[in-house]
A and B are shown apart, each in its own frame.
Chain A
Amino acid sequence: MRIQVNGEAREVAEQITVRGLIEALGLASVPVAVERNKDLVPRAQHEATQLRDGDELEVVHFVGGG
């Protein structure tokens, strides 16, 4: 199925979870936060949250800023 991650289209496996996506992106050890269709997905729900075709995800972290 096709989803959007940080504004880019991406092909992912059916029934992938938020946790699965983070791992597939190589970010398992990076402190990130995830928004799905503009709603925050709390860390405790990453494993249980299954993505659907057309979902729009934001995966963010901290960078230097003022």
Chain B
Amino acid sequence: MSAHTSTDQLRIGAHTFSSRLFVGTGKYKDLEETKAALIASGAQVVTVAVRRVDLSAGGEGSLLGFLRERGITMLPNTAGCFTADDAVRTCRLAREILGESFVKLEVLGDPKTLFPDVVQTLEAAKILVKEGFTVLPYTSDDPITAKKLEDLGCAAVMPLAAPIGSGLGVRNPYNLEIILDTVKVPVIVDAGVGTASDAAIAMELGCHGVLMNTAIAGAKDPVLMASAMRKGVECGREAYLAGRIEKKLYATASSPLVGVIGSKHQ
């Protein structure tokens, strides 16, 4: 890796990360597979969900222990919440468990599309910022909402690439570009990535990171996909930093045009 990219860090609130791939910890076959995939992904931030303890089974703390051991930052989410009120309560509980105020705010609008309810998201963000949380909100790819979330004090914005778990990839690169042009906080693409090239595309656009779960956990070989995603994010980032060439309709020769033998096409 060049000197340029090794000093390339992502800053969100008080946190600094060298990996720009955020991964979820849901849907894996078992804890061992989760751990192996997390290691292969190189992720320094992983999301976790807040759920009722199954009182018949007791609590399981092994994932938590593993994440703490490896120094991985936990980003509790409010997945499954459909109201600002439930999301705020969930964040307060998460802070109580972890002693940290870093949260992924997600307020869903409908169970079929899992699109965010941006009105509820904005309302929850306002309360959470006031309560001192570092808020990373999942949102639609609407630049106006992204700007409002930034203005409320969110530490990043996380527009979707496509519906959660759909694997459709970046469906609206133009809106993401407008969001990147509109807000100053980091833009993390959250949801919709299907494969490594999708992650690379998001990063090539200039997004500051990508968050995914299903694309890795649902792959035939999740550990290998985690490794592919790590590379996809890294190569997309490097290509963005390198600055791609302009697209042109006609060819531009790569070899010198002078000194060619023969006399055709002169």
Flag if A65 contacts B48 (CB, 8 Å).
Answer: yes
A32:B27 contact, CB within 8 angstroms:
no
Please determine whether A61 and B92 come into contact, CB atoms closer than 8 angstroms. Answer: no
- The residue from B27, B58, B59, B93 contacting A66, defined by CB atoms under 8 A apart: B27
Stretch from B71-79, B173-181, B224-232, B248-256 contacting the other chain: B71-79
Q: Is A58 an interface residue (CB 8 A)?
A: yes
Which residues of chain A come closer than 8 Å to B259, judged between CB atoms? none
CB-CB < 8 A to A13: which residues of B?
A: none
- In the docked arrangement, what's the CA distance between A55 and B261, Å? 92
Task: Please tell me if B14 contacts chain A, counting CB pairs below 8 Å.
Answer: no
Q: A14-31 interface mask toward B, CB cutoff 8 Å, 1 = contact, 0 = none?
A: 000000000001110111
B213 contacts A by Cβ under 8 Å: yes
Contact B96 A62 (CB under 8 A): no
Residue in chain A with minimal CB distance to B216: A66
A8-B55, A27-B59 as given contacts; A33 in contact with B24, CB under 8 Å: no
A66 touches B47 (CB 8 A): yes
Q: Are A60 and B79 in contact (CB under 8 A)?
A: no
Q: Is the CB of A60 within 8 A of B51?
A: yes
Q: Which of A30, A43, A60, A63 contacts B58 (CB 8 A)?
A: A30
The answer to whether residues A66 and B52 also contact, given A26-B58, A27-B58 and a CB cut-off of 8 A, is no
Q: Could you tell me the distance in whole angstroms from the C-beta of A28 to the nearest C-beta in chain B? A: 10
| Contact yes or no, A64 B58, CB < 8 A | no
A residues 9-60 near B (Cβ < 8 Å) are: 25-27, 29-35, 38, 40, 42-43, 58-60
B25 touches A66 (CB 8 A): yes
What would 25 A/B residue contacts be, using CB atoms closer than 8 Å?
A6-B52, A8-B55, A29-B61, A30-B59, A30-B60, A30-B61, A31-B61, A32-B59, A33-B50, A33-B94, A34-B96, A40-B92, A58-B52, A58-B93, A59-B55, A60-B53, A61-B53, A61-B61, A62-B64, A62-B76, A64-B49, A64-B63, A65-B77, A65-B213, A66-B77
**Nearest 8 Cβ contacts at the A-B interface:** A65-B49, A66-B24, A66-B213, A30-B59, A33-B96, A64-B25, A33-B93, A62-B48
Q: Which residues of A contact B (CB under 8 A)?
A: 5-8, 25-27, 29-35, 38, 40, 42-43, 58-66
Report which B residues bind A (CB closer than 8 A).
24-28, 34, 47-53, 55, 58-61, 63-64, 74, 76-77, 79, 89, 92-94, 96-98, 164, 212-214, 217
